[in-house]
């Protein structure tokens, strides 16, 4: 594996010259239809949920019975409201609470998931941008956040393609864009979740690390660590890039990225402690309200075994097993593709952070944030695709179906995202 995956030159062009030289516009034009198709898959999954809820409501109205489904809504008038409720469900509820009410001033002892104070577990940058989007966009805060996230999702997929193009050329870049857009975990780009913002910042950081733009890389990493806990994987990526820079070129300025990277996480912890009057408030909420502990992968293994031993009895276990298997496959393919070390370490760190918790473990949305693995898998396949091209369309079809199915399953609260 190489440090950056590109040959060294005597005089590096400025980042503006590199941006101009990158064929980002053709990549955008290629990405757009794939992204639109993928969002239609998400919409289809949410529409199925809306239809089911409407049927339940109609039956209840006709028979004069109470609603048996707690998620049904009577007299909605159209499918728009239940579709929006799907896209705003799960973590979206907590983020919208922060958008509207900010963070709690105090956190009670033995805080639980059923208390509004549990929202203190969620990082601030995404709801801050959501609040700003609500000021700019019409239609209310819910619509503003969803529009913002879908735009961020498109930016993320284009950045994935730009990163792949920088490393492996146009063919791999185009396929990376298509596969990333349809990857089942990309459902999160249309939900009110923070992953869209996080992967935009992560992709920008990795691009800056490859180009040795240390300050910019550190700033993007700092913003990412203020967005999600797994943004801390970028601290390791910056550390690896800096180690190569110091070892090979005595470029001590690379350490700037390492110093800047964790600032988002640290500042949030300090601010939340002062805001609530309790040092370590985030860690207590994680432990008490969300039962976060460490299993070091044992939960993922146990749930996967249960899914195989008792198939289809738990949709959540089934998703865990499929995600775990996909993780192993992507790791193997990316290793064989010889991804640059910076991207490899970032991806490994994301996977470790995904598998470590004792509660929510391997999930498609977490795997999606390890997007360099998708680039590596596409590179590995591209080297062999001349022998068999039938696998590619089948893979895309399966991903699109999985994208719609996951959206529907999460929409009916059939599994934990």
Locus of tokens 């490393």: 167
Instruction: Please name the residues in contact with 17: beta carbons below 8 A apart, sequence gap of 6 or more.
Output: none
- What is the C-alpha separation between 324 and 315, in angstroms, rounded? 14
In contact, 209 and 237? CB cutoff 8 Å = yes
Q: Which residues make beta-bridge pairs with 357?
A: 294
| CA end-to-end distance (rounded Å), the chain | 34
Provide the 8-state DSSP code for 294: B
**Six token digits for residue 327:** 């993780």
- For 42-54, b/e burial (b = at least 16 CB within 10 A) is bbebbbbbbebbb
- What is the C-alpha separation between 96 and 88, in angstroms, rounded? 8
Q: Of 202, 199, 168, whose CA–CA distance to 185 is shortest?
A: 199
Q: Of 213, 310, 268, 256, whose CA–CA distance to 19 is shortest?
A: 213
- For 78-96, b/e burial (b = at least 16 CB within 10 A) is eeeebbbbbbbbbbbebbb
pLDDT for res 2: 57
- Note down pLDDT in tens along the chain; length 417 residues: 655 543 343 456 665 666 565 578 899 999 999 999 999 999 999 999 988 877 767 676 677 766 655 555 545 567 788 899 999 999 999 999 999 999 999 999 999 999 999 999 999 999 999 999 999 999 999 999 999 999 999 999 999 999 999 999 999 999 999 999 999 999 999 999 999 999 999 999 999 999 999 999 999 999 999 999 999 999 999 999 999 999 999 999 999 999 999 999 999 999 999 999 999 999 999 999 998 888 888 999 999 999 999 888 899 999 999 999 999 999 999 999 999 999 999 999 999 999 998 888 899 999 999 999 999 999 999 988 666 778 999 999 999 999 999 999 999 889 999
Domain boundaries, the chain: 291-383
Q: Give 104-150 as a DSSP string.
A: -S---TT--TTSGGGGGGS-SHHHHHHHHHHHHSSS-HHHHHHHHHH
Locus of tokens 């370590």: 280
Q: Of 204, 190, 202, 223, whose CA–CA distance to 123 is shortest?
A: 223
- What is the C-alpha separation between 276 and 100, in angstroms, rounded? 18
Q: Where are the beta strands (DSSP E) in 292-341?
A: none
pLDDT for res 359: 85
pLDDT for res 10: 43
Chain-centroid distance of CA 93 in Å reads 17
- Sequence length of the chain is 417
Locus of tokens 């470029």: 251
pLDDT for res 231: 98
The number of helices, as runs of H, and strands, as runs of E, in the chain is 19, 0
**Six token digits for residue 141:** 């805060």
pLDDT for res 5: 41
């Amino acid at each position: 594996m190489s440090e950056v995956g590109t040959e060294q030159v005597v005089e590096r062009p400025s980042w503006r010259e590199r941006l101009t030289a990158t064929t980002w516009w053709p990549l955008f034009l290629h990405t757009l239809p794939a992204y639109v198709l993928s969002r239609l898959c998400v919409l289809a999954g949410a529409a199925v949920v809306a239809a089911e809820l409407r049927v339940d409501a109609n039956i209840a109205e006709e028979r004069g019975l109470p609603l048996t489904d707690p998620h049904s809504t009577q007299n909605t008038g159209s499918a728009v409201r239940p579709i929006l409720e799907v896209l705003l469900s799960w973590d979206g509820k907590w983020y919208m609470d922060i958008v509207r009410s900010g963070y709690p001033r105090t956190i009670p002892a033995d805080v639980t998931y059923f208390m509004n104070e549990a929202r203190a577990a969620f990082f601030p940058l995404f709801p801050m941008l959501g609040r700003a989007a609500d000021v700019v966009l019409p239609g209310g805060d819910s619509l503003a956040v969803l529009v913002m996230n879908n735009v961020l999702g498109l930016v993320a997929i284009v950045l994935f393609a730009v990163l792949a193009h920088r490393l492996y050329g146009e063919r791999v870049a185009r396929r990376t864009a298509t596969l990333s857009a349809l990857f089942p975990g990309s459902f999160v780009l249309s939900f009110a979740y923070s992953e869209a913002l996080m992967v935009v910042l992560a992709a920008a950081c990795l691009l800056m690390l490859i180009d040795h733009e240390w300050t910019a890389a550190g700033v993007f990493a700092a913003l990412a660590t203020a967005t999600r806990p797994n943004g801390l994987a970028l601290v390791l990526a910056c550390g690896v890039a800096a180690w190569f820079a110091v070892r090979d070129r005595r470029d001590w300025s690379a350490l700037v990225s390492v110093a800047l990277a964790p600032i988002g996480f640290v500042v949030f912890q300090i601010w939340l402690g002062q805001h609530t009057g309790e040092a370590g408030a985030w860690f207590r909420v994680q432990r008490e309200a969300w039962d976060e502990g460490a299993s070091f992968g044992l939960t993922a293994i146990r749930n996967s075994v249960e899914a195989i031993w008792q198939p289809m009895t738990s949709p959540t276990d089934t998703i865990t097993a499929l995600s775990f298997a996909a993780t192993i496959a992507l790791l193997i393919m990316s290793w064989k593709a010889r991804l640059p070390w910076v991207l490899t370490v970032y991806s490994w760190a994301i996977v470790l952070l995904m598998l470590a918790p004792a509660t929510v473990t391997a999930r498609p949305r977490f795997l999606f944030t390890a997007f360099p693995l998708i680039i590596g898998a596409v590179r590995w396949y591209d080297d062999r695709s001349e022998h068999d091209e039938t696998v590619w369309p089948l893979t895309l079809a399966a991903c699109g179906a999985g994208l719609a199915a996951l959206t529907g399953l999460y929409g009916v609260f059939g599994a934990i995202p």
